[in-house]
């Protein structure tokens, strides 16, 4: 996860406080854009379990992962800013987490919608944005962002560039999270995953494509 500004590792920052135990954190007013995907549905369950006031904004077209009891649901299309403005009115939030911004234009739309009405805008990026192939391991937050092989990753990098420039120019409050390959009870991690597990159980070698430098993390 990357949060602006980025302090030097191990350097105390003025005015910062130790992270409180999650059981004692005061409830926050949070908006999730999406809320029914692999990552956002799990985060929604956790947010409600911790006692936060959660609002979920989506089009209402997905039912594969139910919204947790206690969350408020608003229906609007984030690609249609006018519809979002209509359902939000003058609401403000402690944090807005955007799980479905994939291009700079989409990130820009969300940024303009929530500028001045959230304490923190959380952009869900991707670990695939990190340098491919990596020049050194392990991959850290300081690893360069460069992926010439996948447009999805390049678009996520461009979104990050846009948001960080907004932070530098006018203090837009942005946090970037870069999850890796995610899965849950409704979706297996990869098409060949069961084959890999079977080979491990039978003591057979696991086939690794390429030269072995394309390490990847699977996250439940």
**CATH number of the domain where residue 134 is located:** 3.40.50.720
- For 159, the domain range is 24-188
Span 81-110, average pLDDT:
98
**How many other C-beta atoms are found inside a 10 Å radius of the C-beta of residue 174?**
21
Domains contained in the chain, number: 1
Burial of 156 (0-12, 13-18, 19+ CB in 10 A): buried
Highest mean pLDDT: which range of 13-22, 80-89, 199-208: 80-89
Q: Is the pLDDT of residue 200 over 80?
A: yes
196 domain residue, yes or no: no
- pTM recorded for the entire structure: 0.81
What average pLDDT score do residues 54-58 get?
A: 98
> Which residue, among 217, 212, 120, has the nearest Cα to 175 in the 3D structure?
120
* Residues 181 and 150: beta-carbon distance below 8 Å: no
Average pLDDT over residues 44-69: 94
Q: Does residue 71 belong to any structural domain of this protein?
A: yes
What value does the mean pLDDT of the chain take? Answer: 87
Q: Quick check: is 13 in a domain?
A: no
Write down the pLDDT at residue 8. Answer: 39
Let me know if residue 11 belongs to a domain. no
Using the predicted structure, report yes or no on whether residue 190 has a pLDDT greater than 50.
yes
Task: Give 183's pLDDT tier (boundaries 50, 70, 90).
Answer: confident
pLDDT for residue 64: 77
Give the range among 22-36, 87-101, 158-172 with minimum mean pLDDT.
Answer: 22-36
Q: What residues have CB less than 8 Å from 160, skipping those under 6 apart?
A: 123, 125, 129, 145, 176
Nearest to 84 by CA among 48, 109, 63: 109
Confidence of residue 1 (pLDDT cuts 50, 70, 90): low
Does residue 81 lie in a domain region?
Answer: yes
Identify the pLDDT of residue 24: 67
Q: Per the domain annotation, does 2 fall within a domain?
A: no
pLDDT level of residue 12 (50, 70, 90 thresholds):
very low
């Amino acid at each position: 996860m990357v949060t602006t500004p980025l302090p030097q590792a191990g350097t105390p920052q003025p005015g910062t406080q130790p992270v409180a135990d999650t059981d004692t954190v005061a409830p926050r007013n949070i908006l999730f854009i999406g809320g029914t995907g692999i990552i956002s549905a799990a985060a929604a369950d956790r947010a409600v379990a911790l006692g936060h006031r959660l609002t979920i904004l989506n089009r209402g077209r997905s039912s594969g992962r139910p919204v947790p009891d206690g969350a408020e649901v608003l229906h609007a299309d984030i690609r249609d800013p006018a519809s979002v403005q209509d359902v939000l009115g003058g609401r403000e939030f402690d944090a807005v987490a955007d799980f479905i911004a994939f291009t700079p234009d989409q990130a820009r739309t969300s940024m303009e919608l929530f500028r001045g009405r959230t304490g923190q805008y959380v952009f869900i990026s991707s670990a695939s944005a990190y340098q491919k192939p990596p020049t050194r391991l392990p991959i850290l937050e300081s690893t360069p962002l460069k992926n010439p092989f996948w447009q999805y990753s390049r678009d996520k990098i461009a979104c990050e560039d846009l948001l960080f420039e907004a932070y530098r120019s006018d203090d837009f409050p942005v946090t970037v999270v870069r999850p890796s390959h995610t899965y849950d009870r409704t979706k297996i991690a990869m098409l060949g995953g069961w084959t890999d597990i079977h080979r491990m159980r039978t003591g057979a070698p696991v086939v690794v494509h390429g030269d072995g430098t394309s390490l990847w993390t699977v996250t439940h």
